Amino acid sequence: MVKFGQYLKHNIVPEWRDKFINYKELKKIIKQINEKKPQEVELKEIQSEPVNDIIDEYGKKQLRKVENSTMVGMIDLRGRAISNVDNSTNYTYTASTSTKPEDSLVIHADRSLVAFISQWDISDGSIPYNLVMPRYLDEKELVFFRKLHSEIEMVNKWYLEKITECKQRVKDYEAQVLFGLTLSLSSSPQFNQLEFGLKELYRTLDYLHNYCTLNRTAIDKILKKHDKTSRCTSRNTINDAVSKLQFCEESDVYWIRQFTERLWKELTQGEKSISLNDLKRTRSRLSAKLAFRVGLFTGFAIVLFLGLLLIVFQYPIRSLNSDQINALWIFIRIQVFFATQMWALDLYVYHICRINFEYIFREYSPNLLHFQQQFYFASLFTFCLMLILFVWYWISFVSEILPLNYVCAVLPILTCLLFLFVLPLPGYSRARWFMLKHCVSIFGVPFYVVQFTDFFLGDQLTSHNQTMVDLVHVISILVSSSFLSFTDVYLSFSSSLQQFFLFWPSFLPTLVRFIQCLRRFYDTHDVYPHLWNGLKYFLSLIAMSFSWSTPCYYVFQSIYTCYALYWDLREDWGLLWNFQRGKYFLLRKEVEGRSKHLLPERYYYHMAIVFDVILRWIWLLRLSLKGIVGDNVLFLTFGTIEVVRRGVWNIFRMENEQLNNCGKFRATIDVPFPFPDLQCHVCYKHALITIVQNS
């Protein structure tokens, strides 16, 4: 049976985690409670204004009595204390108001106990309840109840804030939908915008319902746990008081949800293919068929890869010389093949850790692939690659069916496979075009405002410097048709031209990322972090300006590596903030007992730190192997290692973005209205007039 603490941890809305009941901290306080026996304390008389006339008016039967002197209760509003209301007991403490005495609570206590009332000022949005507790309670128990009160008050305030926002949002959408119906928006961009907006609003309501349910359950569970360890009973009385709060009743959530469903029906009344289930199904669900296809193509790809290795060692290439074989390497060392697999793994981690990458990218779900879809795309891509290479090698060098003149035909085929996602073919076309659009647009960085998606892709390209060089290399070979004679046209270039093709493709991604930092500074005027982040890329540009064999390269590359390591671990990942020995050493600090880590195990973070340090300095190993190992092997091996390092970096970068930089506790996208220039009341009035005229 899963403990509630673990259930709460895995079911909260990640963006709102700081607004949930701090169940873990309350449990810690309960464990620290030391029971004390009641002390003999003389009761002091309470001086107060008599309200016997109010009690006589409504009758004593209106007062709710709690006979147990060890009861902890919550009383409605700030009341007046009354002595000797009931002479059958030694002492009676009553809290009531002049307007609602029927909501009063009577606490009966023996003279051996003193009723202690814990009072807080009432402000706008706070809970109008006070706690009444026996005075003999241990100090830790008083801390527990005060903490519980503040947590309940926080939940109620947050609920009221979000529900007010949803009410305004649904009113705006009502006007937008009514106005849109008069324009026949079916299948238009405005229709899609309204459709996505209603889906996001409905998803917000689902999150809010989940928020209320989990907090209600958490309050009940923590009170039940408290009552087991204390002589003071509190579960029934506090639950009874909390049940009257708005976040427990959820009446507004149900009303707004029904109203949103009605707007959806009105918007899609002419679309037979769109049902109410499309509104409720706002997230891609796991598909068994898709999982089967992923497993099928992955299995085929592994078998083909092992078979290819077997025949390569059993039937080595004898019909081509070493120069001709080297000319083939350029087509199989492009690391983008591994990048598709790594991004699929990243998406899987985002899924299990509930990292809302869609909201971080500020994009609708059709533009971004689910982790199953990305695995399917990557496995199909890998299967096609392995199949082409296996068949090509078999018919060319094993059975020798293919004449030697046609062996080179595999090279343009592999290139077409690489650019397959650019072609307007069916299958995740919106996601492919989204990726292509942003990859191209980042090179126009000085002329537009940079968003997270842009500099995230810019960081990806900085890890594909070798891929950019190889891409230019491949294009030059194909354009010159030198592959037909198994020669590399790149080797016929002059030394300066070779340096040009080697330097600028690898230099350009880092330069783009540096300009992005400058543009962010221009837009925000924040020196930190944008200029400090730009310094990292500036150091990299200086290091790349020197030859690998010069001492200046070692100096600037070492400075860049140290600075990049600091920025990776402390700024991009948000680690290295806690240097106290303990649970979260070298990780993030806890805030009020709340963990700021989304991954399930702490050692994942420590492994990632070590992994990043090693791979940041691995360029030293690459330089030491130069001349010992072939360049093609070095390019493929270390290029792949950098892709893997970037894949690990993506996980912790996105986690830190969600925890710290998303801000304002937002879990859904605020979809802009399709008619922003129209005032809502004008839209609404115009729509009503048009509908009446048409009817």
- The 10s digit of each residue's pLDDT in 423-462 is 656 677 778 888 888 888 888 888 888 888 888 999 999 9
User: How many other CB atoms are there within 10 angstroms of residue 487's CB atom?
Assistant: 15
Predicted pLDDT of residue 208: 92
Of 159-163, 344-348, 447-451, 682-686, the least confident: 682-686
The whole-number average pLDDT for the span 585-593 is 77
pLDDT reading at 692 higher than 60: no
pLDDT reading at 119 higher than 50: no
Q: Which residue has the higher pLDDT, 48 or 480?
A: 480
Alpha-carbon distances of 485 from 9, 279, 320, 411, 480, rounded to whole Å? 62, 58, 11, 12, 11
Rg (CA), the chain: 34
Q: Which residue has the higher pLDDT, 174 or 96?
A: 174
The encoded tokens of residue 332 equal: 């199989």
Of 130-134, 168-172, 255-259, 324-328, the least confident: 130-134
Share of residues in the chain with pLDDT > 70 (%): 74
The encoded tokens of residue 276 equal: 């109410």
The reply to whether omega before 529 is within 30° of 0 (cis) is: yes
* pLDDT tier at 15, thresholds 50, 70, 90: confident
CB half-sphere exposure, 395, CA atoms < 13 A: 14
The encoded tokens of residue 205 equal: 């309501």
pLDDT digits (tens, 9 = 90+) for 485-512: 777 787 788 888 888 888 888 899 999 9
What letter would DSSP give residue 514?
H
Question: 113 and 135 in contact (C-beta within 8 Å)?
Answer: yes
Rounded Cα distance, 690 and 181, in Å:
10
Backbone angles phi, psi at 76, to 5 degrees: -80, 115
The encoded tokens of residue 614 equal: 């090693």
Strands of the sheet with 105-109, listed across from one edge: 64-66, 105-109, 91-95
The whole-number average pLDDT for the span 208-232 is 88
Rounded Cα distance, 196 and 476, in Å:
44
Share of residues in the chain with pLDDT > 90 (%): 22
pLDDT reading at 43 higher than 70: no
Map residue 368 onto helix, strand or coil: coil
Rounded Cα distance, 12 and 381, in Å:
36
Predicted pLDDT of residue 230: 77
Average pLDDT, the chain: 76
Predicted pLDDT of residue 652: 95
117 bridge partner residues = 132
92 bridge partner residues = 108
* pLDDT tier at 555, thresholds 50, 70, 90: very high
* Threshold 0.85, pTM exceeds: no
Predicted pLDDT of residue 363: 64
Beta strand pairing status for 105-109 and 64-66? parallel
Q: Which residue has the higher pLDDT, 325 or 546?
A: 546
Q: How is the chain split among helix, strand and coil, in percent rounded to 5?
A: 65, 5, 30
Of 47-56, 186-195, 289-298, 580-589, the least confident: 47-56
* pLDDT tier at 633, thresholds 50, 70, 90: confident
Of 53-62, 208-217, 417-426, 536-545, the least confident: 53-62
* pLDDT tier at 604, thresholds 50, 70, 90: very high
The region that residue 481 occupies, defined by phi over 0 for left and psi between -120 and 50 for alpha, beta otherwise, is left
Q: At what angle do helices 4-11 and 189-229 cross, to 10 degrees?
A: 160
Q: What is the largest CA-CA distance in the chain?
A: 112
Predicted pLDDT of residue 399: 84
Question: 668 and 359 in contact (C-beta within 8 Å)?
Answer: yes
The whole-number average pLDDT for the span 349-369 is 79
pLDDT digits (tens, 9 = 90+) for 636-673: 889 889 999 999 999 999 999 888 765 445 556 555 55
Predicted pLDDT of residue 56: 42
Question: 128 and 57 in contact (C-beta within 8 Å)?
Answer: no
